Amino acid sequence: MSDSGQIVTFLSCFKCGRIVRSTDDECPRCGMKFGPGTLFECPFCAGLVWRSAESCSTCKTDLVKFAEQIGDGLKSFSMDGFVDEILETELENVRRGARRVACPSCGLMIRGDEEQCPRCDLQLRDAKVDCPVCGEKVPINDQSCWNCGTVFTELTFGGSEDRAKEILETIKEKISEEPDMIVDDEESRRIREIVSESRSGADKQKREVKVKAEKPKKKKKMLRRGKKK
Protein backbone atom coordinates (compact mmCIF):
# COMPACT_ATOMS: atom_id res chain seq x y z
CA MET A 1 0.00 0.00 0.00
CA SER A 2 1.30 3.47 -0.88
CA ASP A 3 1.91 6.31 1.57
CA SER A 4 -1.45 7.82 0.56
CA GLY A 5 -3.27 4.61 1.49
CA GLN A 6 -3.87 3.58 -2.12
CA ILE A 7 -3.62 -0.12 -2.97
CA VAL A 8 -0.53 -0.89 -5.06
CA THR A 9 -0.48 -3.79 -7.52
CA PHE A 10 1.85 -4.91 -10.29
CA LEU A 11 0.44 -4.64 -13.83
CA SER A 12 1.74 -4.76 -17.41
CA CYS A 13 1.87 -1.65 -19.57
CA PHE A 14 -0.74 -2.07 -22.31
CA LYS A 15 1.60 -0.59 -24.94
CA CYS A 16 4.97 -2.29 -24.32
CA GLY A 17 4.27 -4.97 -21.68
CA ARG A 18 6.68 -3.70 -19.03
CA ILE A 19 5.78 -4.51 -15.42
CA VAL A 20 4.75 -1.31 -13.64
CA ARG A 21 3.07 -0.33 -10.38
CA SER A 22 -0.58 0.69 -10.47
CA THR A 23 0.42 4.01 -8.85
CA ASP A 24 2.90 4.94 -11.61
CA ASP A 25 2.03 7.98 -13.74
CA GLU A 26 3.83 6.74 -16.85
CA CYS A 27 5.70 3.74 -18.23
CA PRO A 28 9.48 4.07 -17.72
CA ARG A 29 10.10 2.11 -20.93
CA CYS A 30 7.76 3.52 -23.61
CA GLY A 31 6.67 6.74 -21.88
CA MET A 32 2.94 5.99 -22.09
CA LYS A 33 0.98 8.25 -19.71
CA PHE A 34 -1.32 6.52 -17.21
CA GLY A 35 -4.61 8.12 -16.22
CA PRO A 36 -7.66 7.11 -14.15
CA GLY A 37 -9.22 5.40 -17.19
CA THR A 38 -6.08 3.64 -18.44
CA LEU A 39 -6.39 -0.09 -19.05
CA PHE A 40 -3.49 -2.39 -18.18
CA GLU A 41 -2.77 -6.05 -18.86
CA CYS A 42 -2.73 -8.74 -16.20
CA PRO A 43 0.94 -9.89 -15.93
CA PHE A 44 -0.22 -13.52 -15.81
CA CYS A 45 -2.81 -13.92 -18.58
CA ALA A 46 -2.66 -10.59 -20.49
CA GLY A 47 -6.36 -9.98 -19.77
CA LEU A 48 -7.36 -6.32 -19.55
CA VAL A 49 -7.69 -4.85 -16.04
CA TRP A 50 -8.25 -1.40 -14.57
CA ARG A 51 -5.45 0.12 -12.49
CA SER A 52 -7.73 0.00 -9.42
CA ALA A 53 -8.56 -3.72 -9.86
CA GLU A 54 -7.69 -5.95 -6.91
CA SER A 55 -7.91 -9.16 -8.96
CA CYS A 56 -7.92 -10.20 -12.62
CA SER A 57 -11.43 -10.88 -13.94
CA THR A 58 -10.01 -13.32 -16.51
CA CYS A 59 -7.61 -15.62 -14.61
CA LYS A 60 -8.85 -14.67 -11.09
CA THR A 61 -5.31 -13.99 -9.83
CA ASP A 62 -5.33 -11.95 -6.61
CA LEU A 63 -3.18 -8.98 -7.69
CA VAL A 64 -3.16 -7.42 -4.22
CA LYS A 65 -1.91 -10.61 -2.60
CA PHE A 66 0.73 -10.97 -5.30
CA ALA A 67 1.99 -7.44 -4.60
CA GLU A 68 1.96 -8.04 -0.84
CA GLN A 69 3.96 -11.24 -1.22
CA ILE A 70 6.57 -9.51 -3.35
CA GLY A 71 6.85 -6.59 -0.95
CA ASP A 72 9.60 -3.99 -1.17
CA GLY A 73 12.64 -5.43 -2.90
CA LEU A 74 11.12 -8.95 -3.03
CA LYS A 75 12.09 -9.59 0.61
CA SER A 76 8.75 -11.08 1.62
CA PHE A 77 8.02 -13.01 -1.57
CA SER A 78 7.54 -16.79 -1.23
CA MET A 79 8.01 -18.60 -4.54
CA ASP A 80 6.85 -21.99 -3.18
CA GLY A 81 3.63 -20.61 -1.75
CA PHE A 82 2.86 -18.55 -4.81
CA VAL A 83 3.48 -21.45 -7.22
CA ASP A 84 1.22 -23.65 -5.07
CA GLU A 85 -1.57 -21.10 -5.34
CA ILE A 86 -1.17 -20.76 -9.12
CA LEU A 87 -1.27 -24.53 -9.62
CA GLU A 88 -4.35 -24.88 -7.42
CA THR A 89 -6.11 -22.22 -9.48
CA GLU A 90 -5.16 -23.92 -12.76
CA LEU A 91 -6.30 -27.32 -11.46
CA GLU A 92 -9.65 -25.87 -10.43
CA ASN A 93 -10.10 -24.44 -13.93
CA VAL A 94 -9.32 -27.85 -15.45
CA ARG A 95 -11.79 -29.60 -13.12
CA ARG A 96 -14.57 -27.23 -14.16
CA GLY A 97 -13.64 -27.50 -17.83
CA ALA A 98 -14.65 -23.87 -18.21
CA ARG A 99 -15.43 -22.69 -21.73
CA ARG A 100 -13.75 -19.38 -22.51
CA VAL A 101 -14.62 -16.98 -25.32
CA ALA A 102 -13.82 -13.33 -25.96
CA CYS A 103 -16.56 -10.71 -25.76
CA PRO A 104 -17.05 -9.51 -29.37
CA SER A 105 -17.25 -5.90 -28.14
CA CYS A 106 -14.46 -5.37 -25.57
CA GLY A 107 -12.44 -8.61 -25.77
CA LEU A 108 -12.92 -9.66 -22.13
CA MET A 109 -12.61 -13.44 -21.69
CA ILE A 110 -15.97 -14.81 -20.50
CA ARG A 111 -17.67 -18.21 -20.19
CA GLY A 112 -20.16 -17.45 -22.96
CA ASP A 113 -23.28 -18.38 -20.99
CA GLU A 114 -23.65 -14.97 -19.32
CA GLU A 115 -26.62 -12.75 -20.21
CA GLN A 116 -24.33 -9.75 -20.69
CA CYS A 117 -20.64 -8.87 -20.60
CA PRO A 118 -19.59 -7.82 -17.06
CA ARG A 119 -17.30 -5.12 -18.49
CA CYS A 120 -19.11 -3.43 -21.41
CA ASP A 121 -22.68 -4.69 -20.69
CA LEU A 122 -23.09 -6.10 -24.22
CA GLN A 123 -26.16 -8.35 -24.39
CA LEU A 124 -24.79 -11.79 -25.29
CA ARG A 125 -27.98 -13.69 -26.13
CA ASP A 126 -27.69 -13.07 -29.89
CA ALA A 127 -24.00 -12.15 -30.00
CA LYS A 128 -21.60 -13.83 -32.41
CA VAL A 129 -17.86 -14.51 -32.11
CA ASP A 130 -15.13 -15.43 -34.59
CA CYS A 131 -14.19 -19.10 -34.93
CA PRO A 132 -10.48 -19.31 -33.92
CA VAL A 133 -9.76 -21.69 -36.82
CA CYS A 134 -11.68 -20.51 -39.90
CA GLY A 135 -12.80 -17.03 -38.79
CA GLU A 136 -16.51 -17.54 -39.50
CA LYS A 137 -19.05 -15.82 -37.25
CA VAL A 138 -20.81 -18.28 -34.95
CA PRO A 139 -23.38 -17.75 -32.16
CA ILE A 140 -21.64 -17.36 -28.81
CA ASN A 141 -23.58 -20.27 -27.26
CA ASP A 142 -22.70 -22.78 -30.00
CA GLN A 143 -20.42 -25.63 -28.95
CA SER A 144 -18.81 -26.00 -32.39
CA CYS A 145 -18.28 -24.07 -35.63
CA TRP A 146 -20.92 -24.72 -38.31
CA ASN A 147 -18.34 -24.14 -41.05
CA CYS A 148 -15.22 -26.12 -40.06
CA GLY A 149 -16.50 -28.27 -37.19
CA THR A 150 -14.07 -26.93 -34.56
CA VAL A 151 -15.23 -27.78 -31.03
CA PHE A 152 -15.10 -24.78 -28.69
CA THR A 153 -15.44 -26.54 -25.33
CA GLU A 154 -12.07 -26.83 -23.63
CA LEU A 155 -10.71 -30.32 -23.19
CA THR A 156 -10.36 -31.93 -19.77
CA PHE A 157 -6.98 -33.60 -19.68
CA GLY A 158 -6.68 -36.83 -17.74
CA GLY A 159 -4.07 -36.93 -15.02
CA SER A 160 -3.73 -33.14 -14.88
CA GLU A 161 -3.40 -33.11 -11.10
CA ASP A 162 -0.56 -35.64 -11.14
CA ARG A 163 1.28 -33.70 -13.85
CA ALA A 164 0.80 -30.45 -11.96
CA LYS A 165 2.26 -31.98 -8.81
CA GLU A 166 5.27 -33.19 -10.78
CA ILE A 167 5.76 -29.70 -12.20
CA LEU A 168 5.53 -28.22 -8.70
CA GLU A 169 8.20 -30.59 -7.36
CA THR A 170 10.47 -29.78 -10.30
CA ILE A 171 10.10 -26.05 -9.66
CA LYS A 172 10.82 -26.48 -5.96
CA GLU A 173 13.96 -28.50 -6.71
CA LYS A 174 15.13 -25.87 -9.16
CA ILE A 175 14.59 -23.12 -6.61
CA SER A 176 16.46 -25.02 -3.88
CA GLU A 177 19.45 -25.52 -6.16
CA GLU A 178 19.76 -21.83 -7.02
CA PRO A 179 21.43 -19.34 -4.61
CA ASP A 180 19.30 -16.65 -3.00
CA MET A 181 18.62 -13.69 -5.22
CA ILE A 182 20.47 -10.51 -4.31
CA VAL A 183 18.03 -7.65 -3.91
CA ASP A 184 18.94 -4.96 -6.45
CA ASP A 185 17.27 -2.52 -8.80
CA GLU A 186 16.26 -5.25 -11.24
CA GLU A 187 12.91 -5.83 -9.55
CA SER A 188 11.02 -5.79 -12.83
CA ARG A 189 13.25 -8.49 -14.33
CA ARG A 190 12.69 -10.80 -11.34
CA ILE A 191 8.93 -10.33 -11.48
CA ARG A 192 8.94 -11.25 -15.18
CA GLU A 193 10.83 -14.45 -14.36
CA ILE A 194 8.16 -15.34 -11.80
CA VAL A 195 5.38 -14.64 -14.28
CA SER A 196 7.14 -16.65 -17.01
CA GLU A 197 7.36 -19.73 -14.77
CA SER A 198 3.70 -19.45 -13.80
CA ARG A 199 2.62 -19.33 -17.45
CA SER A 200 4.41 -22.49 -18.54
CA GLY A 201 1.61 -24.90 -17.62
CA ALA A 202 -1.11 -22.76 -19.20
CA ASP A 203 0.87 -22.36 -22.44
CA LYS A 204 1.23 -26.13 -22.80
CA GLN A 205 -2.53 -26.61 -22.41
CA LYS A 206 -3.26 -23.93 -25.03
CA ARG A 207 -0.99 -25.66 -27.56
CA GLU A 208 -2.74 -29.00 -27.02
CA VAL A 209 -6.17 -27.39 -27.43
CA LYS A 210 -5.02 -25.71 -30.65
CA VAL A 211 -3.82 -29.02 -32.13
CA LYS A 212 -7.13 -30.66 -31.21
CA ALA A 213 -9.07 -27.78 -32.78
CA GLU A 214 -7.21 -28.05 -36.11
CA LYS A 215 -8.11 -31.70 -36.72
CA PRO A 216 -11.73 -31.17 -37.91
CA LYS A 217 -10.54 -28.59 -40.44
CA LYS A 218 -8.02 -31.02 -41.98
CA LYS A 219 -10.68 -33.71 -42.22
CA LYS A 220 -12.99 -31.40 -44.15
CA LYS A 221 -10.25 -30.63 -46.68
CA MET A 222 -9.81 -34.34 -47.38
CA LEU A 223 -13.54 -34.73 -48.01
CA ARG A 224 -13.51 -31.82 -50.45
CA ARG A 225 -10.68 -33.36 -52.43
CA GLY A 226 -12.61 -36.60 -52.62
CA LYS A 227 -15.61 -34.82 -54.12
CA LYS A 228 -13.45 -33.22 -56.82
CA LYS A 229 -12.24 -36.65 -57.92
* 79, containing H or E segment: helix 79-96
- Helix, strand, or coil (residue 125): coil
Q: Give residue 26's pLDDT.
A: 92
Spatial distance between the Cα atoms of 229 and 221, rounded to a whole number of angstroms? 13
Q: Is the pLDDT of residue 225 over 80?
A: no
- Helix, strand, or coil (residue 105): coil
Q: Is the pLDDT of residue 58 over 80?
A: yes
- Helix, strand, or coil (residue 82): helix
Domain ranges in the chain are 1-70, 72-93+154-229, 99-141
Report pLDDT digits (tens) over 165-201: 666 666 666 555 544 444 444 666 666 676 666 666 5
- Helix, strand, or coil (residue 103): coil
Report pLDDT digits (tens) over 85-127: 666 766 665 555 445 677 888 888 777 778 888 888 888 888 8
Model pTM greater than 0.85?
no
